[in-house]
Amino acid sequence: MKAMLCKAWGGPDDLVFEETDDPKAGKGEVVIDIHASGVNFPDILLIGGKYQFKPDFPFSPGMEVGGIVSEVGEGVTAVKPGDRVMAMTMTGGGFAEKCVTPERKVFKLPDGVSFEQAAGFPVTYGTTYHALKDRAELKAGEVLLVHGASGGVGLNAVELGKLMGATVIGTVGSDAKMDIVRQYGADHVFNYSDKSIRETVKELTGGQGADVIYDPVGGDAFDESLRCINWGGRLLVVGFASGRIPEAKANLVLLKQCQIVGVFWGAWTEKFPDGCRAQFDELLGWCAEGKINPHISMRFPLADSPEALKALAARKATGKVIVNVR
């Protein structure tokens, strides 16, 4: 098969497109003919050797795919060859014509969910639903502030936040990204590169601040968040796309009696595979019913997948970037 391979830590331009052996299904594993693969910010960290997992070389990036099961290993019962599926390949493998992954990370697609939708689904919707539902316990009527609201996880937070009954405020880094955030239901959107986060959120909430803050950006966005969080609020630490891991001032946490809440979805799926499956059943059901729909702003063929990573790193994309394999 053809695959985009990482053979040494580096950037997108260091990846190599070449022929490699087809994967085989071991005990409890599933081989998938990939139709589409989702691109995520962690892919950039993965190929740079800066992610929580460091796969052995050579490996291909790509943590989520949509495709058709081509082979199942001993003991697999959940899916069979020919099934349309969505799958997670958390330590990479998605920028290729085929991948192999454990059965517990493979989910049958309901009718009406396309391979592209499936490819742009598990990492961002999975992370965001777990964060809002289990970690923040977001309630209807609360104010949800979403940083990087036009990005992969950010746009899902806007969409799911509205579905859960919150009032949603989105922040973006350029005016051009505001429209898509409004289209996904945000009540308010502002550009955090030219407006103060703390002042704007206080203005929009009558001085109260946000009850739940979803932060995949870190850096200044995190620092400012602790200044505009409501009494008893929950600040979700999702990621550090800005490049700076912030440090929290403990006096602010005390004064607002707020919580800083970590979100490590990939590890949660390993510890609680049944909980993960139950959430995907619900989310995929909503997608089939048209209640949620990943926004795909860019598509690249497999041979050009380094360009997909570069577009994400350069903050050019909104929602999801997809690599079309077939």
Ligand X SMILES: NC(=O)c1ccc[n+]([C@@H]2O[C@H](COP(=O)([O-])OP(=O)(O)OC[C@H]3O[C@@H](n4cnc5c(N)ncnc54)[C@H](OP(=O)(O)O)[C@@H]3O)[C@@H](O)[C@H]2O)c1
Positions touching ligand X (CB under 6 A) are: 40-42, 123-124, 127, 148, 150-154, 172-173, 177, 216-217, 238-243, 263-266, 312, 315
Nearer to ligand X, 208 or 297 (CB): 297
Rounded least distance, CB 20 to ligand X, Å: 26
Rounded least distance, CB 250 to ligand X, Å: 22
How far apart (Å, rounded) are the C-alpha atoms in residues 273 and 266? 10
Look-up: residue for tokens 């990370």? 105
Distances (CA, A) of 301 to 3, 46, 97, 308: 12, 20, 11, 9
Listed residue (197, 321, 219, 209) closest to 255, CA to CA: 209
Rounded least distance, CB 238 to ligand X, Å: 5
Rounded to 5 degrees, φ, ψ at 217 are -100, -40
Nearer to ligand X, 70 or 128 (CB): 128
Strands 143-146 and 210-215: parallel
Rounded least distance, CB 308 to ligand X, Å: 11
Rounded least distance, CB 135 to ligand X, Å: 10
Distances (CA, A) of 159 to 63, 138, 234: 22, 13, 19
Rounded least distance, CB 168 to ligand X, Å: 15
How far apart (Å, rounded) are the C-alpha atoms in residues 302 and 222? 35
Tokens of 299: 């598509």
Nearer to ligand X, 69 or 241 (CB): 241
Residue 250 neighbours by CB under 8 Å, 6+ apart: none
Nearer to ligand X, 10 or 81 (CB): 10
Nearer to ligand X, 70 or 89 (CB): 89
Nearer to ligand X, 220 or 304 (CB): 220
Rounded least distance, CB 42 to ligand X, Å: 4
Rounded least distance, CB 17 to ligand X, Å: 23
Say if CB 8 and CB 57 are below 8 A apart.
Answer: yes
Sequence-distant contacts of 268-273: CB under 8 A, at least 24 apart: 268/130, 268/134, 269/88, 269/90, 269/105, 269/126, 273/104
Rounded least distance, CB 218 to ligand X, Å: 7
Nearer to ligand X, 191 or 208 (CB): 191
How far apart (Å, rounded) are the C-alpha atoms in residues 25 and 72? 6
Nearer to ligand X, 47 or 72 (CB): 47
Nearer to ligand X, 152 or 209 (CB): 152
